[in-house]
Amino acid sequence: MSNSEAILKIKDLKVYFDTDAGVVKSVDGVDLEIKKGTTLGLVGESGCGKSVTCLSIPRLIESPPGRIAGGEIIYKGKNLLELSEKDMQGIRGNDISMIFQEPMTSLNPVFTIGDQIQEVIMLHQHKTSAEARELTLRILKKVGIPSPEIRIDDYPHQMSGGMKQRVIIAMALSCSPDLLIADEPTTALDVTIQVQILDLMRSLQDELGMSILLVTHDLGVVASMASHVAIMYASKIVEYGPVEQIFSNPGHPYTLGLFTSIPVVGRGKRDLYVIPGNVPDPLAFPRGCKFWPRCVFAEDICRSQEPFLENIGEGHTAACHFRGKIDKHLWKEKTNTGSFLNISR
Amino acid sequence: MNNTLLEVRNLKKYFPITKGIFSKVIGHVKAVDNISFDIKEGETLGLVGESGCGKTTASRVILRLIESTGGEVSFNGDDVFSLKGEKLRQFRKNVQIIFQDPYSSLNPRLTVGNIIAEGIGAHKIATGAKKKEMVGELLEKVGLSAGYYNRYPHEFSGGQRQRIAIARALSLNPRLIICDEPVSALDVSIQAQILNLLAKLKKELNLSYLFITHDLSVVEHVSDRIATMYLGEIVEIADTEEFYSNPLHPYTVALFSANPSLDLAAKRKPIILKGDVPSAIEPPRGCRFHTRCPVAEGICRIEWPEPKDVSQGHMVRCHLVDKSNPKAPIGIS
């Protein structure tokens, strides 16, 4: 995996929104990298800037109020932020596709699903409608919709949530993109449907060799899908690395807090660890490290200086003054969680 | 004191489907079909299942928010469906509910104080300064400041709103709280706060919960016993420990395997159920799960499985589970 090149490199990306109350820095210096054919899990809580990061890659930030205030998005060697709108249209759908969270609201209720997928194909690949319909049938079959020749003329309301999400995946894949951005693709679905969709995404990835940026708040989904993980907190990436590293040896106190605050089957009924305080207001981020008011380890340096992503292991970076050297005994003592990390039973 | 607080027997709720100008009934959605369970005092029963399986409808019927089609519910020995007048008022006080979405379950035009005080006023428990004092105590009990009395719901975050909803549920000193997916809409770190709060209150006030969720990790954390629901039926019920160490129904096993695990080492292959939950209008004949069951046999398609008690308190509805040697017909590979 190490010799494969990056398909997408985001450098110091800044996305700001001008509001009446002030400038909201939704994304404030994000660095990310996705290697070809792999899946990067982007994890964080609501409001941390995950979705804005995703939307800014195909340049879908509504402006005004939003604007990309700085940074680079290098896709296959090209900086997407420097392309003309017309070139960008060629990239969207063809090269980079997106799946949104809500299958219920991302389809147009007044067109059949067949029409909606064909539209994408005709727009991007200049096919006749007969060819496009043929292709649509093939894709619907590939994503596991039973009797596609009948369902192709269905309207969205005639389908279940899982089926609609398959249609959206079919639409996203209709032009065989190289990069798929999936923003919480299974959050609105039931668990048995979720495994179906994740399994589908995995097998399509194997088949087509595409790269996936998977945004989720569910660490379990990350464990089953991703090769690398980026943890986002308050508009920044606070930790990045291979999934095994992050899961076995998290280097940022926030990551540690996330892991210890979720109930895990078999861990028993003791109280869950609660990360104290709340996510900071994006209009008034604290000075220094943005996590310090909630961090059990915070020291003077954390309150005054902002940490940057630094290497703490092989391909493993964290933005923390402690550089991954978290005192495990202190963590136990301060958080009263019984054990340091009890992820794998 | 381990008395049975809530007893549900053969509860049914069918919604009629009508057609034409005379609203002729042409069928029924069998949302809840013959479910039975008990909740003891101070106990939490977890109810798991996918959307549309009837979890929420069951809770609405138990609360008498909607009329039942058949069956019985008794609370503290009283038949809930025949309660009237003062007794019904007492029942409403004793059983409260917390909803999933704290953004839509709080009236945006009322202050937090008025939201919480509404029940106190309606039941004439207190008025004026006394009422205000009670609300302040409730706010503090759920970890908010009593000074929030005059604020509006939009000023609060999701987790804080869920605390307000909990304070409202507690305002009448209930004995049973129905928690309908109380943490599903919350972020993980907030989810932990609310789960801890619910556990603390249960201990302090000797509350019972009917905890409805689809999250198997959450349900293990909070429940003493767990029931799995599928297409209007309870297909398995057992003590939490037994439920997790020896799940028997193929649907329960599939749910477990679908539950995303943090354990990277256990490279398990999830059991992927085919298709969607069938329609509750015409549920499949025989065992309702047979259309998606990976191990279904001939009998499953014809005969409806009777509930089997395989051990103390462990009931399962599956033809393929042997009563004398209870083992799940499929394992998590």
Residue B83: pLDDT band with limits 50, 70, 90: very high
Query: Would you state the pLDDT for residue A187?
Result: 79
> Do residues A70 and A15 touch, judged by C-beta distance below 8 A?
no
Smallest Cα distance from B256 to chain A, Å:
9
Considering only CB atoms, B195 lies closest to which of A192, A244, A272, namely: A272
> Do residues A258 and A219 touch, judged by C-beta distance below 8 A?
yes
**What is the rounded CA–CA span in Å between residue A58 and residue A74?**
11
Query: Would you state the pLDDT for residue B322?
Result: 86
Residue B56 CB contacts under 8 Å (≥ 6 apart), including other chains: B180, B212
pLDDT at residue A2 greater than cutoff 60: no
Nearest CA in chain B to A294: B189
Cα-Cα end-to-end distance for chain A: 28
Residues of B in contact with A247 (CB under 8 A): 262, 264
The answer to whether B295 faces chain A, any CB pair under 8 Å, is no
Residue A156 CB contacts under 8 Å (≥ 6 apart), including other chains: A104, A107, A108, A109, A113, A164, A167
Tokens 């009931």, located at residue? B315
Nearest CA in chain B to A227: B264
Considering only CB atoms, B188 lies closest to which of A146, A262, A345, namely: A262
To probe the interface with A, which of B190, B197, B262 has the most A CB atoms within 10 Å?
B262
Establish how many alpha carbons lie within 13 A of residue A264's alpha carbon, considering only the half-sphere containing its beta carbon.
17
**What is the rounded CA–CA span in Å between residue B209 and residue B175?**
9
Q: At what angle do helices A161-173 and A191-208 cross, to 10 degrees?
A: 20
To probe the interface with B, which of A104, A192, A273 has the most B CB atoms within 10 Å?
A192
CB contact under 8 A, A271 and B199: yes
Residue B86 CB contacts under 8 Å (≥ 6 apart), including other chains: none
Nearest residue to B33 via CA among B333, B317, B332, B261:
B317
Give pLDDT tens digits for A23-70: 889 999 999 999 999 999 999 888 888 889 999 999 998 888 889 999
Residue A134: pLDDT band with limits 50, 70, 90: very high
Give pLDDT tens digits for B105-155: 999 999 999 999 999 999 999 888 999 999 999 999 898 888 899 999 998
Structure tokens at A57: 């890659």
> Do residues B294 and B273 touch, judged by C-beta distance below 8 A?
yes
**What is the rounded CA–CA span in Å between residue A68 and residue B212?**
43
Which value does ipTM take for this structure? 0.80
Residues of B in contact with A145 (CB under 8 A): none
Where are the domains positioned within chain A? 6-226, 250-335
CB contact under 8 A, B262 and A223: yes
Give pLDDT tens digits for A74-108: 999 999 999 999 999 889 988 999 988 777 788 99
> Do residues A275 and A261 touch, judged by C-beta distance below 8 A?
yes
Nearest CA in chain B to A186: B260
CA angle, corner A62, sides to A60 and A63, nearest 5?
125
> Do residues A252 and A18 touch, judged by C-beta distance below 8 A?
no
Residue A275: pLDDT band with limits 50, 70, 90: confident
Structure tokens at A327: 């005192």
Considering only CB atoms, B276 lies closest to which of A162, A248, A259, namely: A162
Q: Strand ranges (DSSP E) for A150-275?
A: 179-183, 211-216, 228-233, 236-242
Query: Would you state the pLDDT for residue B153?
Result: 92
The CATH number fitting domain A6-226, selected from 2.40.10.10, 3.40.1400.10, 3.30.360.10, 3.40.50.300: 3.40.50.300
Query: Would you state the pLDDT for residue A338?
Result: 52
DSSP bridge pairs for A22: A19
> Do residues B16 and B28 touch, judged by C-beta distance below 8 A?
yes
pLDDT at residue B47 greater than cutoff 60: yes
Query: Would you state the pLDDT for residue A47?
Result: 82
**What is the rounded CA–CA span in Å between residue B228 and residue B239?**
12
> Do residues B236 and B249 touch, judged by C-beta distance below 8 A?
yes
List, edge to edge, every strand of the sheet that includes B314-316: B95-98, B176-180, B208-213, B44-48, B225-230, B233-239, B314-316, B308-311
Q: Strand ranges (DSSP E) for B68-164?
A: 70-75, 78-79, 95-98
CB contact under 8 A, B217 and A259: no
**Lowest model confidence (mean pLDDT) among B13-17, B18-22, B137-141:** B18-22
> Do residues B260 and A343 touch, judged by C-beta distance below 8 A?
no
Q: What is the mean pLDDT of chain B?
A: 89
**What is the rounded CA–CA span in Å between residue A316 and residue A302?**
21
DSSP bridge pairs for A151: none
Helix (H) or strand (E) holding A165: helix A161-173
CB contact under 8 A, A191 and B262: no
**What is the rounded CA–CA span in Å between residue A5 and residue A68?**
26
Query: Would you state the pLDDT for residue A340?
Result: 45
Nearest residue to A234 via CA among A80, A30, A31, A72:
A30
